Structure formats: structure tokens, C-alpha cells
């Protein structure tokens, strides 16, 4: 296991949609160990594989003292009439937080290291995390979801950090 370096905005791996996990081998097992170790630090809610430079559909989470992972996650349900609009941040956009509208509830299906089906669901922070990490795996950053006026300010702040 290893604490991995986080890739930051500007790195093309963050804009590349990740490939599905097709074989659970030593590389994938090592990836999951690294995702779990790297997310297990104060202030970290989630971590997608591409944030540590690996182009595979996998992420880990650290919400309310629960740490876990999912391979090949896909969002299968979002609340359609309940939303949250709190500040959101990202390890790949360090130090910046912006109001981001997300569904209040999210449900993700995927698999574990034994190839068994996994369901991860939650409300509020967990729902935000699930949506945020699946976005990463699709090559999106939360900045892409910001309202136009907020996005303009956010991109200026990002440029000032580079």
C-alpha cells in the first residue's frame, strides 16, 4: 500500500474518461489498497483512480468514519426533486470551494474485488461524494457543473493558483 500523489487540475488524466475494470488482478488489488490508504486522511471524502494517475473506473470514499471502495461504479438513481447546493471542493482543485448543485440522494452500483455486485447509496454528503467521484471517472471536474457566473470566478481562481 502507498499514499499516492494527487493529480491537480491541468493534468490531462483528469479529463480522460476511465476504462472499466475487466480483470481483477494484482494491479487492481494494489490500486484499491492505494485508494483506501490515500483517502484515509482528515478532510478527504473521496478519491477517484484518475486522481492518482490510474485510468480505471474505481474510487474510494471516507464519509462519516466509513471507508470503502467500488469498481466500475455507475449512478443508477438520483433524487429528482430534492437537491443540495452547498460548497464543494476537490483534492485535484486544492483550496478552492464553490457552490455546486447536486442531487440530495444518489445510488451507485458496481462491484468489489471478488467480482460481487455492490450497491453504495446515501444522502447529502455521501450523495455528493458519489456524484463527484463518478464525474471524475467520466473525465469531469466539479468545476464543469458550476453555474456560469460562478464558473468564471472559479476558473480565474484556478488560473491564479497555477
Question: Would you name the residues annotated as active-site residues?
Answer: 133
Print the SS3 string covering the chain: CCCCCCCCCCCHHHHCCCECCCCCCHHHHHHHHHHHHHHCCCCCCEEEHHHHCCCECEEEEEECCEEEEEEEEEEEEECCCCEECCEEEECCEEEEEEECCEECEEEEEEECCCCCEEEEEEECHHHHHHHHHHHHHCCCCHHHHCCHHHHHHHHHHHHHHC
Taking CA atoms, 144 is separated from 49, 88, 152, in Å, by: 19, 12, 11
Amino acid at each position: 500500500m502507498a499514499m499516492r500523489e494527487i493529480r491537480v487540475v491541468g493534468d490531462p488524466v483528469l479529463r480522460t474518461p476511465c476504462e472499466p475494470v475487466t480483470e481483477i488482478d494484482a494491479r487492481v488489488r494494489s490500486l484499491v489498497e492505494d485508494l483506501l490508504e490515500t483517502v484515509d486522511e482528515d478532510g478527504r471524502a473521496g478519491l477517484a483512480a484518475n486522481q492518482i494517475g490510474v485510468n480505471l473506473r474505481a474510487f474510494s470514499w471516507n464519509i462519516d468514519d466509513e471507508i470503502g471502495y467500488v469498481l466500475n461504479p455507475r449512478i443508477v438513481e438520483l433524487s429528482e426533486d430534492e437537491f443540495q447546493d452547498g460548497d464543494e471542493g476537490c483534492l485535484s482543485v486544492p483550496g478552492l470551494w464553490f457552490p455546486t448543485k447536486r442531487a440530495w440522494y444518489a445510488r451507485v452500483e458496481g462491484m468489489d474485488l471478488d467480482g460481487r455486485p455492490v450497491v453504495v447509496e446515501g444522502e447529502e454528503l455521501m450523495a455528493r461524494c458519489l456524484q463527484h467521484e463518478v464525474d471524475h471517472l467520466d473525465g469531469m471536474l466539479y468545476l464543469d457543473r458550476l453555474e456560469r457566473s460562478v464558473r468564471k470566478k472559479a476558473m480565474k481562481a484556478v488560473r491564479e493558483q497555477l
